[in-house]
Amino acid sequence: MSKKLDKSAGWITFDPELKIVDCTVRDGGLINAHKFEDGFFKKIYDTCVAGGIDYMEVGYKADRKLFTGDDNGPWKFSSEEDIRREVGENDTKLKLCAMADAGRTDYHNDILPRDESVLDLIRVATYIHQLPAALEIVKDAKDKGYEVALNLMAVSTVPDYELDNGLDVVSHCSEVDFLYVVDSFGSLYYEQVDDLITRYKGTGKTLGIHAHNNQQLAYANTIHAAINGVKLLDTTMMGMGRGAGNCATELMVGFLKNPKFDLRPILKFVQETMHPMSQKLDWGYSIPYMITGHYNEHPRSAIALRASDRKDDYLGFFDEIASP
Amino acid sequence: MSKKLDKSAGWITFDPELKIVDCTVRDGGLINAHKFEDGFFKKIYDTCVAGGIDYMEVGYKADRKLFTGDDNGPWKFSSEEDIRREVGENDTKLKLCAMADAGRTDYHNDILPRDESVLDLIRVATYIHQLPAALEIVKDAKDKGYEVALNLMAVSTVPDYELDNGLDVVSHCSEVDFLYVVDSFGSLYYEQVDDLITRYKGTGKTLGIHAHNNQQLAYANTIHAAINGVKLLDTTMMGMGRGAGNCATELMVGFLKNPKFDLRPILKFVQETMHPMSQKLDWGYSIPYMITGHYNEHPRSAIALRASDRKDDYLGFFDEIASP
């Protein structure tokens, strides 16, 4: 091997601190309002256990006063009862997490003390302007005994001085265990990811990355982050996720060298369950998502286009987005 | 902007030396034996001109003693007559190139003196063991007045000492203008691309990159190469190319900041011509190509699978490839 590769011989062995967080149910559920077929959750759970995945995100902890159970499947709320029905006491090495959106979760009531829950990690998602509200959820979750992650969304639209202020606040919040670089709009390429990693490392926190595939860069940016010290790697089965989707779990498991990971059960699940779903639901890279990525915009306009009868009108969509 | 990004302010302006080589007809033609619909060639040519593309590859210069015109469309042979029928004298800024495979081209007869041809660049494709034969074509093409590129295929399977010997030979061959990093199997990630770039730079040649998308890394590896000094960037419309395909022209044009590039005509062509083709022909990332990429194998077994009635039998294919 070359000198360059010799330096990273840790790769040819492996970094045991690298963890995969499978977010299929949570992020993929944004496509189908978390209304998965019966049996889906148990299958993906069993697959994560068999595949050596570190964390599985079971869904959101959404406030039932804001969202109805008619409009949304159970993993919008991820009640302890629903989780336990699927996983029992979760007597496995797989850790479980759920996402709490700042301003959209009744965390006092819906996040139980950890010793009453099978959840291990609470991930708090926030825009920069909600940071104080998010940190209240963070502190509550830490007090209750959980590992806690902070996912700062849409960072590609945050001015530098504001981001630096936010990171300073986070660095002084001892309750944050993990801080996530989140490319909500799939607009970042690796030099920008590098820059964010460097800044985020200044907080002293263990870092995670959550990438979107608008420009076919979700996997590339995730391995780039892993090689540069980020430890929690968000993935989804077959890249299922809102819009252009995410870094595919099967790509990441194929890349990482830790022998605890096993690609075979993941491919089996992808073939038998995800591929048929992908024929019915639209996710993954397509040119409208590339365009919103280029323009650093939320993908909602592209999602609307893809759901319309002009889903492949790339030119018309480009003209709309490119108009000042 | 951050310090990191300030250092590369050249990006926010642009590097005028970065050139896009659109290979759709040549590499995409491997899917349909270069039998494109009437009018296709002229449309893509007009699109390349309008989009500011630097080079368009018109096809192969294959030996008619080895390949028949019944089995292959005209761009397998790229006769001067056929090219001129489409482009006339090519009175545009777009340069034209053709590929000559070592051992499969009658270059003495089929590559005309440049002053009798509308071609500007001859790209000689070779495996490492054919290098002496390839360099004869290189010298012949240079003598005839062309720019000449050498594409060293399947480098991911070449032992280091052999590669270093080959690069030494190339460095002493003044007739090679451009040397290509070619990821034939789509098996490389960016650290490996970096390593190859560093070695290839040792030849003193201007470098190019030709990436495949087996692991959704074609675009990522290409921009990584561009940022690290590689100047010729191979792309194809909608990523059309053998197996997992290539770096998409539309992604690259969206990324590069040189105002001579224009995404709009490219999106129009992709929407009107490439997207309908993509519904009939199978190319682009899928899990079988990921698997051959992981195992650093030629994609032919995955191509055969995708053409069979078990195209999505990921697990069965994995078990075959993973068997020693």
Q: Quick: pLDDT tens for A41-52.
A: 999 999 999 999
Q: How confident is the model over B66-95, as a mean pLDDT? A: 98
Q: How far is A149 from chain B (nearest CA, A)?
A: 25
What DSSP line would sit under A110-172, residue for residue? HS--GGG-S--EEEEEE-GGGHHHHHHHHHHHHHTT-EEEEEETTGGGS-HHHHHHHHHHHHT
Q: Which residue has tokens 């290098």?
A: B131
Q: How confident is the model over B291-315, as a mean pLDDT? A: 96
Q: Which residue has tokens 């996040």?
A: A111
Nearest CA in chain B to A196: B2
- In percent, how much of chain B has pLDDT > 70? 96
Q: What are the boundaries of each domain within chain A?
A: 15-275, 287-322
Q: What number of C-beta contacts closer than 8 Å exist between A and B?
A: 122
In the predicted structure, residue B148 carries a pLDDT above the cut 80: yes
Instruction: Tell the CATH topology of B15-280.
Output: TIM Barrel (3.20.20)
What is the pLDDT of chain B when averaged over all its residues? 95
CB contacts of A271 in chain B (<8 Å) are 287, 312-315
Angstrom distance (rounded) from CA B30 to CA B299: 12
C-beta atoms of B263 and A318 within 8 A: yes
In the predicted structure, residue A5 carries a pLDDT above the cut 60: no
CB contacts of B8 in chain A (<8 Å) are 191
Check if the beta carbon of residue A68 is closer than 8 Å to that of residue A61.
no
Q: What is the pLDDT of residue B174?
A: 98
SS3 for chain B is CCHHHHHCHHHHCCCCCCEEEECHHHHHCCCCCCCCCCCHHHHHHHHHHHHCCCEEEEEECCCCCCCCCCCCCHHHCCCHHHHHHHHCCCCCCCEEEEEEECCCCCHHHHCCCHHHCCCCEEEEEECHHHHHHHHHHHHHHHHCCCEEEEEECCHHHCCHHHHHHHHHHHHCCCCCCEEEEECCCCCCCHHHHHHHHHHHHCCCCEEEEECECCCCCHHHHHHHHHHCCCCEEEEEHHHCCCCCCECEHHHHHHHCCCCCCCHHHHHHHHHHHHHHHHHHCCCCCCHHHHHHHHCCCCCHHHHHHHCCCCCCCHHHHHHHHHCC
- Residue A260 touches chain B, beta carbons under 8 Å: no
pLDDT digit string, tens, across residues B22-52: 999 999 999 999 999 999 999 999 999 999 9
In the predicted structure, residue A315 carries a pLDDT above the cut 90: yes
Q: How far is B80 from chain A (nearest CA, A)?
A: 34
C-beta atoms of A215 and B216 within 8 A: no
CB contacts of B250 in chain A (<8 Å) are 287, 290
Give contacts of A 1-60 with B, CB under 8 A: 1-2, 4-5, 8, 11
Q: What is the pLDDT of residue A2?
A: 35
Angstrom distance (rounded) from CA B279 to CA B274: 9
Of A8, A194, A267, the CB nearest to B318: A267
Give contacts of A 222-241 with B, CB under 8 A: 223-224, 227
- Residue A254 touches chain B, beta carbons under 8 Å: yes
Class of domain A15-275: alpha beta
In the predicted structure, residue A22 carries a pLDDT above the cut 90: yes
In the predicted structure, residue B317 carries a pLDDT above the cut 80: yes
Q: What is the pLDDT of residue A324?
A: 85
Q: What is the pLDDT of residue A12?
A: 62
Check if the beta carbon of residue B257 is closer than 8 Å to that of residue B12.
yes
Nearest CA in chain A to B254: A294
In the predicted structure, residue B6 carries a pLDDT above the cut 80: no
Angstrom distance (rounded) from CA A124 to CA A104: 11
In the predicted structure, residue B10 carries a pLDDT above the cut 60: no
Q: How far is B267 from chain A (nearest CA, A)?
A: 6
**pLDDT confidence of B324, banded at 50, 70, 90?**
confident
Q: How far is A261 from chain B (nearest CA, A)?
A: 15
DSSP-H helix ranges across A3-151: 3-7, 9-12, 40-51, 80-87, 107-110, 131-143
Give me B83's structure tokens.
Answer: 């090219």
Q: What is the pLDDT of residue B2?
A: 35
Q: What is the pLDDT of residue B3?
A: 36
Q: What is the pLDDT of residue A1?
A: 30
Angstrom distance (rounded) from CA B198 to CA A311: 43
Q: What is the pLDDT of residue A3?
A: 36
- In percent, how much of chain A has pLDDT > 90? 95
What is the pLDDT of chain A when averaged over all its residues? 95
Of B11, B215, B219, the CB nearest to A215: B219
Write the DSSP symbol of residue A21: E
With the CA atoms of B117, B121, B127 and B129 taken in that order, what torsion angle do they form, in degrees rounded to the nearest 10? Answer: 80
In the predicted structure, residue B4 carries a pLDDT above the cut 50: no
Angstrom distance (rounded) from CA A83 to CA A103: 23
With the CA atoms of B72, B74, B76 and B80 taken in that order, what torsion angle do they form, in degrees rounded to the nearest 10? Answer: 160
**pLDDT confidence of A7, banded at 50, 70, 90?**
very low
pTM of the model: 0.95
Give me B153's structure tokens.
Answer: 């295929």
Task: Reduce the DSSP state of residue A58 to 3 states and report it.
Answer: strand
Phi-psi region of B191 (alpha: psi -120 to 50; beta: other; left: phi over 0): alpha
pLDDT digit string, tens, across residues B158-203: 999 999 999 999 999 999 999 999 999 999 999 999 999 999 999 9
Segment (H or E) for A266: helix A263-269
pLDDT digit string, tens, across residues A139-164: 999 999 999 999 999 999 999 999 99
Using DSSP, how many helices (H) and how many strands (E) does chain A show? 15, 8
Q: What is the pLDDT of residue B12?
A: 62
Give contacts of B 185-214 with A, CB under 8 A: 189-192, 194-195, 198-199, 213
Alpha-carbon separation of residue B57 from B19, B23, B41, B78, B97 (angstroms): 13, 5, 11, 10, 5
